Structure 1
């Protein structure tokens, strides 16, 4: 099968051309439209001048979490700005009135709510006193639930805080329904998530349309599990059906400990890959749980650690033995420093990709960037400017001016020479479309927040560089033969946009839609 695309503004990642030939799954020729018309083809596609790009790679996201939010209530801007609006939105959930069904929402951030606080069980009891109500916080680490959910989980005033989390309480000691960080959220999820393998696969298949609408051709699931269903099996089965996106899996170190794993699971489909292991060093800036060197603004707290140097050593040993990556959630500068101090002088074990990925890498000053540059270990940063864009109010509330300027310093990260890619961490941020690549691109180029805040314009980058961080640089984070560029011999993974980013104000980029998408030369239907 030969398909020729003509009359386009095709950005290969290096230059602009107007025509391209696809033979089966790969790009077989690029050039000008006049020459292209002389080439034999089974199909000729007129791009009508549209900007055409390599499809995006989201190398830090949570697809199965996204699949759950597709059927739950968005409790995030620009839809919800108060607890009262959240209650009203949840009351309109299609799950209301269904026996044994959970009423679910996602995306709240207390700093964006008019009440400036987290919803409690008393608030969520206004939604229902007969059905469990569960609302996932924007960071996907914490949640708020009603009294029914607490009862189902067996949580009382005597329930101790679990490892890696805290149970919120009222002044009288009774649980208030706020479950801080993953360790506490898991207590709720353990009674909520009762599913079958087939149902999980069907939910996963809904991601195909979602990612097509985002122009994303490669995804990484950053908290992959072994039980109750192995993610390698879930994604392999989904790929055998209709999920066309390439998938990379990072298994939680908690699963490795829990099941005493010595090897990682193996997928049974060629488009699904097990890439490495994932661990958490701290929480989030917006929730003041990220581990920082100096106390948060107008506070004495410095966040808390989840895993330790001992856990980092365990991960190092496992990764070396399995020739896989380590991906580490670290937002606070203290958490990042611990990783650097533990691994910096060790010999890398991977040569074709980073051995250690720092996920988020939020607070980085010039001193620590130089230390990363000079380290023997081959580190990389996979960061999310969408956090600062959507959650600036929380960052402003929690960080002093100096540290605000050190948040997601894209220009400085690139200047350091440490490989850096952009990603979304969706659905883990307070925005209605957390994995809208165009929102991230616009923020990276303008350094303006959702409400026009200056996010340190000195750290702005140009559009070509920003696009590279979602394509070529992102591909460099995983094991692949692909460059995420539109060049001869590469996979024909292509998106055609509704507007030209190079000639449209960045403030309008979020209006962009994906008119056509090809993965491995196959056109995906809208």
Structure 2
């Protein structure tokens, strides 16, 4: 009897399966992609010959002969021309609309190879040129704004002061933002508008730098002292200006192959800007928004969701525990190695928030099942983050929360073990090895510890998923620079910083695709080229697994495709 039933069930299930597959194979594809290297990020079939798409979803993926069975009279055939197609990049951490929009709009103060500011004189000229070339923006905002300067790359090896910026203008406020985003500098007019004077006290989690032997501000603002000014000046461009800045940021991400972006520390004005753009149907890619829980955690509690509406969603909350390592404001567990500037003996960085505040935020997040992103650069910041997660998990359970460590530049191996035990997802910043690796080796942590900044190797050795990011506008959202830095760890000077922390190209690509899709609870829809997933693709000029790793940064994005719609193509392609 059992054999008869088993046979009958087998026949029924076989008929059902045959009917299902016949219906699937009978469908004509809207588009078939073939003629190049296709890297899927699916370990079961890492390389395939063709992909068929129907209604924005992947219909078939595999051998060209099988996929071509979906070709109908109306099917569009896309010949990759020998280029490489991958899943669209998923932004593990960045600031697409607010910071990215500013980066794409204001004076570009980046150093080579991304810009051409090499000293304070060239920085001043950049600001003057921007003001002259953008009279409408200056008229609307009433200020001159620049982004991306880096004292480590200026000939003077120091921050510009109020006097340096007064030389640009004494009539208009001039404000510039450090490449880390955590420090800024203003001229006398900017300091006056911000209300900073000799009588001003440093805000909690911030520093107003002073002139030597005086309490007069020298123009440089750190941490929360800077953020207050940045938020105030960002409103100066008006509602329409902010909307255009937001679109400029999104377009920048798209040009580097990102089909999912992140707004990694949103204030209410940025959320409103994105909601306005979304309602108007102007957002071309998905954006996961993480509001700053120190500003408005109520909006997170009420509106966090895993479903996109008009391509945006409130995905969780963001907490910033410390500052930037290159600016000596990351919170370490020991003094900085050789900091450049006027620092007290034993200086180990800044804590933006108290232990009590951090613990309270995680208790709230775990109680309400809210995903938290936590900016923690230094070992001291990670100690606080780990303690808060342990406390919250003991009270509310560990669960599948996918709490995210953002940056983790300076870590101890015991902290890596703790993050593994607590199921914290690390979103790391290996691009620091290129931009600031030499600076970290010589000034922040010293030659020994510098080998282990952004320790992708430690996480890979433990079999952990991790993401890699650009943190734009800290750097351009250059996906190929992210890939190159993760694989080679080559610094600006040519040094290899921590050869044991390097990973292979496929691991580095997973950290830009399927693993950050997992980070966002979207691995069932994105991050790999598999049947049923979204047809989100990026086309690269060459196969990144087949070129000399030292040339990875030279690869270019040919096209970006969101749900089978081409939303970017490089000029001349």
Q: How would you bin the TM-score normalised by the shorter chain? A: over 0.9
Q: What stretches of structure 2 of length at least 5 have no aligned partner?
A: 1-28, 339-344
Q: Highest Rg: 1 or 2?
A: 2
Matched, 1:18 2:31: no
Question: Please, what is the CA RMSD of the aligned residues?
Answer: 2.3
2:535 to 492, 497, 518: 492
* More moved, 211-220 vs 266-275: 266-275
C-alpha distance after superposition, 1:422-457 (max 9, x if no partner): 11111124xxxx321111111111121122122111
Per the TM alignment, residue 32 of structure 1 is displaced from its structure 2 partner at its CA by: 2.6
1:320 to 359, 362, 366: 366
Per the TM alignment, residue 495 of structure 1 is displaced from its structure 2 partner at its CA by: 1.1
In structure 2, C-alpha distance between the alignment counterparts of 1:145 and 1:170, rounded to whole Å:
14
Per the TM alignment, residue 276 of structure 1 is displaced from its structure 2 partner at its CA by: 1.2
In structure 1, C-alpha distance between the alignment counterparts of 2:106 and 2:38, rounded to whole Å:
37
Residue 46 to residue 326, structure 1, CA distance change in 2 (3 Å): same
* More moved, 145-154 vs 186-195: 186-195
Contact persistence 2:161–2:187 (CA under 8 A): yes
1:275 to 315, 328, 339: 315
Equivalence for 1:455: 497
Per the TM alignment, residue 460 of structure 1 is displaced from its structure 2 partner at its CA by: 0.6
> What is the TM-score of this pair, normalised by structure 1?
0.92
In structure 2, C-alpha distance between the alignment counterparts of 1:25 and 1:352, rounded to whole Å:
29
Contact persistence 2:404–2:426 (CA under 8 A): yes
Residue 192 to residue 491, structure 1, CA distance change in 2 (3 Å): closer
Matched, 1:362 2:409: yes
Q: How does 1:231-380 map to 2 (within 5 A)?
A: 231=271, 234-235=274-275, 237-238=277-278, 240-256=280-296, 263-264=302-303, 269-298=309-338, 300-344=346-390, 346-347=393-394, 351-354=399-402, 356-373=403-420, 375=421, 377-380=422-425
SS at match of 1:501: coil
Matched, 1:71 2:113: no
C-alpha distance after superposition, 1:355-397 (max 9, x if no partner): x211101112222222333x3x321111111122101232121
Contact persistence 2:304–2:370 (CA under 8 A): no
Equivalence for 1:402: 448
Per the TM alignment, residue 86 of structure 1 is displaced from its structure 2 partner at its CA by: 0.7
Contact persistence 2:87–2:528 (CA under 8 A): yes
Per the TM alignment, residue 296 of structure 1 is displaced from its structure 2 partner at its CA by: 0.8
Equivalence for 1:49: 82
Per the TM alignment, residue 108 of structure 1 is displaced from its structure 2 partner at its CA by: 1.3
SS at match of 2:509: helix
In structure 2, C-alpha distance between the alignment counterparts of 1:58 and 1:189, rounded to whole Å:
23
2:220 to 178, 183, 190: 178
Residue 216 to residue 349, structure 1, CA distance change in 2 (3 Å): farther
Contact persistence 1:262–1:318 (CA under 8 A): no
Equivalence for 2:142: 101
Residue 500 to residue 211, structure 1, CA distance change in 2 (3 Å): same
Residue 31 to residue 247, structure 1, CA distance change in 2 (3 Å): same
Per the TM alignment, residue 162 of structure 1 is displaced from its structure 2 partner at its CA by: 1.5
Equivalence for 1:151: 192
Contact persistence 2:33–2:77 (CA under 8 A): yes
Equivalence for 2:203: 162
C-alpha distance after superposition, 1:27-70 (max 9, x if no partner): 00112334444432321111112111001011210112110121
Equivalence for 2:432: 387
1:58 to 91, 94, 99: 91
In structure 1, C-alpha distance between the alignment counterparts of 2:316 and 2:301, rounded to whole Å:
13
In structure 2, C-alpha distance between the alignment counterparts of 1:331 and 1:245, rounded to whole Å:
29
SS at match of 1:19: strand
> What is the TM-score of this pair, normalised by structure 2?
0.85
Per the TM alignment, residue 13 of structure 1 is displaced from its structure 2 partner at its CA by: 0.9
Residue 90 to residue 247, structure 1, CA distance change in 2 (3 Å): same
Contact persistence 2:264–2:289 (CA under 8 A): yes
Per the TM alignment, residue 418 of structure 1 is displaced from its structure 2 partner at its CA by: 4.0
In structure 2, C-alpha distance between the alignment counterparts of 1:158 and 1:187, rounded to whole Å:
17
Equivalence for 2:242: 200
Contact persistence 2:483–2:553 (CA under 8 A): no
In structure 1, C-alpha distance between the alignment counterparts of 2:384 and 2:506, rounded to whole Å:
33
C-alpha distance after superposition, 1:317-356 (max 9, x if no partner): 32134321111111111110122123236246574551x2
Per the TM alignment, residue 201 of structure 1 is displaced from its structure 2 partner at its CA by: 2.7
Contact persistence 1:353–1:479 (CA under 8 A): no
C-alpha distance after superposition, 1:73-92 (max 9, x if no partner): 22122111111111121111
C-alpha distance after superposition, 1:119-150 (max 9, x if no partner): 00111111112221111101101111111211
Contact persistence 1:323–1:350 (CA under 8 A): no
Equivalence for 2:547: 504
Higher helix share: 2
SS at match of 1:168: strand
Equivalence for 1:122: 163
Residue 205 to residue 391, structure 1, CA distance change in 2 (3 Å): same
How many correspondences in the alignment?
Answer: 516
SS at match of 1:206: helix
